[in-house]
Chains A and B, each alone.
Chain A
Amino acid sequence: MKIELTVNHVPRVVEVSPEMRLLDLLRETLGLTSVKEGCSEGECGACTVLMNGKAVTSCTVLAFQARGSDIVTLEGLAQKGELDVLQQAFVDNDAIQCGFCTPGMIMAAKALLLESPSPSDEEIRRGLEGNLCRCTGYLPIFRAVRDAAERLRNHAG
């Protein structure tokens, strides 16, 4: 079946099968390999993307359910060659080691900041609780999200 959706700000018409997951559509059909397959059960958050502004694990969404949706992956964040504030904050705070969890982590953080531009420490922890990282111990990631929120506030001010 054919579905229409927007992926990274570009309208698309794609052929999907009933059992195809959003993860498979993004990675295999559209070549958006920032979307990582980790646990395949919605536990690790590596496949997190934005669906209509909300963080979802793309391994637990079927592609046909995304008909008419606005999907954003990590590839859709950088604009005109400039990294997104969150991406830059992750670099500046050494919040990346092996990098496997990073795209999902950044997309979860993006959803958090879209909803709550000045999150409390507790809100940051809760916003990231669906994403596992085996390398960093989470603290640099936490600092990066807090830093990004501060940069956005300063920029707005």
Chain B
Amino acid sequence: MRRKDCETMRADRPSSLKELRNILEQRPENLRFIAGGTDLVLHLRRFPNEDLHLVDLSSLEELRQMEIREKALCIGASVTFDELEKSLLVRRHASSLARAATQVGSPQIRNRGTLGGNFMNGSAAADGIPPLVALEAQAFGEDETGKEYRFPLEGLNRSENPLLRNPFFFLKGFRIPLKEHGYSDFAKLGSRTGVTISKLNLALSCSFEDGRIQNPRIFAGALAPYPVRCSRTETLLISEKAELPEFLQSLGELVRHTIPSRDSMPYKRRAIRGLGEDLWKRLQEVRS
């Protein structure tokens, strides 16, 4: 649908955080942040009568940085999937996130879509979020008063989180704690091989000590509104006695418990075994 000519629609493209803060201090009505635009531009077309005040975050250099700071990998909210995929820092310290980035959309979408937008858009199928949660990432940002916030991504209740409900809160980035001998991985299933939206995905992080798996964290994405932790599967990994069939069965059980009455349960219960097998095989290769 074509948009009507919106007399009251506004757009700003601040070139610095200072400029952005000046805009937010005014608490503009109907504010909506935009970065890559890969979701919001479609929304604008779908709802042509919405008069929004768009504020573009994609040009803020402060939100485009990737660096090691205070024993953590810090990734700016406006870093694109293409940049994540190619970053040596991300590949080294958050390889699951780099792997997820390679599987997002097409080159055109990866060149524009941002990690911050992937999180703030709140899609259950967002590929960037399960790896971040598994890696114990925190998000950080600022509200219109200049107050800074940092919060863990795990267990987030998006719909009731006051920060995420505050239209003047802007996300500045993510902080992933560095781990010695850390390892992480990601596997995704869509309706086709490439340029596909997740029907199901699985992210894993752990570390190794003398060849033993420590602190495994496994999260399934696109199963519920927010990544679901696979606690029983993690326990199996720590026990060191687990074999592949048990590992896969525990994942299938997670699906059965999480979405018992959904039509897609039988399919996803089987499908997650394929993803689990991929993760298991790569994990065993790294261990050996």
Which residues of A are interface residues toward B (Cβ below 8 A)?
1, 17-19, 21, 40-43, 45, 48, 51, 54-57, 59-62, 64-65, 67-68, 108, 111-112, 126-127, 129-131
Q: List 13 A-B contacts (CB under 8 A).
A: A18-B6, A19-B3, A42-B38, A54-B82, A55-B108, A56-B111, A57-B109, A61-B37, A62-B41, A64-B56, A65-B37, A65-B59, A130-B106
Q: Which residue of A lies closest to B50 (CB)?
A: A19
CB distance B44 to A19 under 8 Å? yes
CB distance A65 to B34 under 8 Å? yes
Q: Which residue of A lies closest to B35 (CB)?
A: A65
Give the CA-CA distance A56 to B82 in the complex, in Å.
Answer: 12
A18, A67, A131: which has the most chain B beta carbons within 10 Å?
A18
Number of interface residues of B (CB under 8 A): 30
Q: Is B195 close to A, CB under 8 A? A: yes
CB distance B111 to A65 under 8 Å? no
Q: Is B286 close to A, CB under 8 A? A: no
Which residues of B are interface residues toward A (Cβ below 8 A)?
3, 5-6, 9-11, 13, 34, 36-38, 41-42, 44-45, 52, 54, 56, 58-59, 82, 105-109, 111-112, 194-195
Give the CA-CA distance A56 to B58 in the complex, in Å.
Answer: 14
CB distance B58 to A65 under 8 Å? yes
CB distance A45 to B108 under 8 Å? yes
Q: Which residues of B are found within 8 Å of A64, using beta-carbon distances?
A: 11, 13, 54, 56
CB distance B37 to A62 under 8 Å? yes
CB distance A130 to B109 under 8 Å? yes
Give the CA-CA distance A56 to B45 in the complex, in Å.
Answer: 18
CB distance A130 to B6 under 8 Å? no
Minimum C-beta distance from B121 to chain A (A): 13
CB distance A61 to B9 under 8 Å? no
Minimum C-beta distance from A99 to chain B (A): 20
Give the CA-CA distance A40 to B11 in the complex, in Å.
Answer: 21
Partner of A45, one of B36, B106, B194: B106
B11, B13, B38: which has the most chain A beta carbons within 10 Å?
B11
Known: A41-B42, A65-B37. A48 touches B108 (CB 8 A): yes
Give the CA-CA distance A54 to B80 in the complex, in Å.
Answer: 12
Q: Which residues of A are found within 8 Å of B9, using beta-carbon distances?
A: 17-19
Q: Which residue of A lies closest to B12 (CB)?
A: A64
Known: A40-B45, A62-B37. A130 touches B195 (CB 8 A): yes
Known: A19-B44, A54-B82, A129-B195. A42 touches B6 (CB 8 A): no
Give the CA-CA distance A75 to B11 in the complex, in Å.
Answer: 29
Q: Which residues of A are found within 8 Å of B34, using beta-carbon distances?
A: 62, 65
Minimum C-beta distance from B11 to chain A (A): 4
Give the CA-CA distance A39 to B264 in the complex, in Å.
Answer: 28
Q: Which residues of A are found within 8 Å of B52, using beta-carbon distances?
A: 18
